[in-house]
Amino acid sequence: MSAGWRTLLLRIGDRCPEYGGTADHKEHIVKICYNVLSREYEHSKDDIFEFLLQCAEQLPHKIPFFGVLIGLINLENEDFAKGIVDATQANLQDALHTENRDRIRILLRFLCGLMCSKVISPNSIIETYETLLSSAATILDEDAGNASWQPRADFYVYCILASLLNSRGFWLVYSLT
């Protein structure tokens, strides 16, 4: 059955109207994906954990679906969702260190999607954004007089704004004001 849950995660949302299908994506996530993962969790929790993270990074257009699924899992198993958040933040740190721009952008979007699913708090996302912006400012201080910091700082700001817009995170700004 392990191939079954993998296939479900890969195909999550494929039949919803946004992709030209007619199925209700909410029903698919809740009734099918969540129930199958709940049954398989005890047998394959490490595999599910790793595969879910890979799916979020490799299929960024489905991040809202993965966020909802992780939000549902969080209701029953907070440790699993906490592990997803911790691993995502570690992956983000690695992406920042290696300057992997695509991965930075996708992981910020994923974290914002997790916030929209109430897996992490809005304050946590704000802290992540503040850390990212302060690192851009640190680059400016270290490279005084060197204009090479500007593209990186611009990219960080772009990633923050894109993650807010792509994950309906503009509600975050509204809720904090």
Give the pLDDT of residue 4.
83
Which stretch of DSSP H or E encloses residue 67?
helix 63-76
Ranges of each domain in the chain? 2-176
Structure tokens at 172: 């975050």
SS (H, E, C) 9-26: HHCCCCCCHHHCCCCCHH
Q: What is the mean pLDDT of each run of 10 residues along the chain (177 residues)?
A: 75 64 62 82 86 92 88 90 93 92 94 90 89 75 60 85 71 51
Give the pLDDT of residue 1.
44
Can you say whether residue 144 is alpha, beta or left, with left for phi > 0 and alpha for psi between -120 and 50 degrees? beta
pTM comes to: 0.82
Q: How far apart are CA 5 and CA 14, in angstroms?
A: 15
2-176 is classed in which CATH architecture?
Alpha Horseshoe (1.25)
